[in-house]
Amino acid sequence: MLNFSMKMSADGLYKNTKGYSKMKMTILFLLILLITIVLYTWFQGPVLFAQAWSNSTTQLLHFAPVLVIAVLLAGFTQTLIPQEFVNNWLSDASGWRGIVLAWVAGIFTPIAGVFAMPLVAVLYQAGAGLAVIMTFLTSLATLSIMKIPIEVGFYGWKLTAIRFGVSMFLPLIAGALTHALVQLVQIK
């Protein structure tokens, strides 16, 4: 049995209970923002409203399948990742071992941006340390190998190589600074 802030429900299944109140507040905020923007667009006229609706539908059709897959991957990862692995390799106590692992994992993780959020949430809920999480997110954002072919297409090899080279150690710096901050806060 894994302990990911999970509680057994009446149907005998473990359900994640951590973070739901924060998610409800986020949903409420986004819903209020959406209603405000929809009403504003509505009052701008039917042509603009139709264009906005069309753009929104197109975005939904492009991103929804990938986001659904990312959430499903996160759920299966949450179920399969051993708590001992998280404790030994990804917790705050793992130190540089966890930071370096997160650095490398961020480079080779085949998802990025908003699609990595469910995976990061699962790792955090499982007990991954803040330094590890910051290292992974920074590595994913700056060093993901998935972006290299796209960047080469836009910028060329020279600019891509320079950007990748100067960004190489940023995730390690972010992880070290986060680790130091966590240690400082724990002391006081």
State if pTM tops 0.85: no
148-164 confidence digits (pLDDT tens): 888 999 889 999 999 99
20-69 confidence digits (pLDDT tens): 677 788 889 999 999 999 999 999 999 999 999 999 999 999 888 878 88
123-157 confidence digits (pLDDT tens): 898 899 999 999 999 999 999 888 888 899 988 99
> Strands, DSSP E only, in 6-118?
6-8, 14-16
Residue 114: DSSP 8-state? G
Residue 71 CA, chain-centre distance (Å), reads 11
Which conformational region is residue 19 in: left (phi greater than 0), alpha (psi within -120 to 50 degrees), or beta? left
Angle at 101 between CA 100 and CA 105, to 5 degrees: 120
Domain assignments of the chain as residue spans, ordered by start: 6-79, 82-187
